[in-house]
Amino acid sequence: MLLSIREPNFPTEVLGSSIPVLVHFWAPWCGLCRLIVPQLQQFQTNWQDQVKLVGVNADQSLKLASTYRLQTLPTLILFANGQELHRLEHFHGREDLRRTLDEFMHSYQNRSASVSLSTHEYLTLEA
């Protein structure tokens, strides 16, 4: 089951998270939003403690919907270190969704590894 969050706890749960957060913006009237929940839960299971999955009801969180300029639902946004890294607004089936989400995570891991390497190299040069 997705952790459901609203505007007041968005800064803490998403922007302040120590791990990447995949935010599923949805609405009760959106059939596709409900259909992808099992795939999202499988994604979270596959990536275990490396990503947090949360749901935001866009109809109840209009300020967030406006802030992140939602054009369509469902919209999936991957946040890391308080920043939007990737956005998915359209996909073509379950396999496309799974592949795209996995690519998001691999991209995040590669970005994190290069930042760590750059920091380490900098520290080594300074020493």
Domains defined for the chain, CATH in brackets: 3-126 (3.40.30.10)
| Paired sense of beta strands 21-26 and 75-80, if any | antiparallel
Active site positions, annotated: 30, 33
The tally of CA atoms less than 13 A away on the side-chain side of residue 127 is 6
Give the span between the Cα atoms of 110 and 121, in whole angstroms: 16
pLDDT tens, position by position, 41-84 = 999 999 988 999 999 999 999 999 999 999 999 999 999 999 99
126 pLDDT tier (thresholds 50, 70, 90): very low
Average pLDDT over residues 86-113: 89
Report the chain's mean pLDDT, rounded to a whole number: 88
> Rounded to two decimals, what is the model's pTM?
0.85
For the residues 97-122, what does the mean pLDDT come to? 75
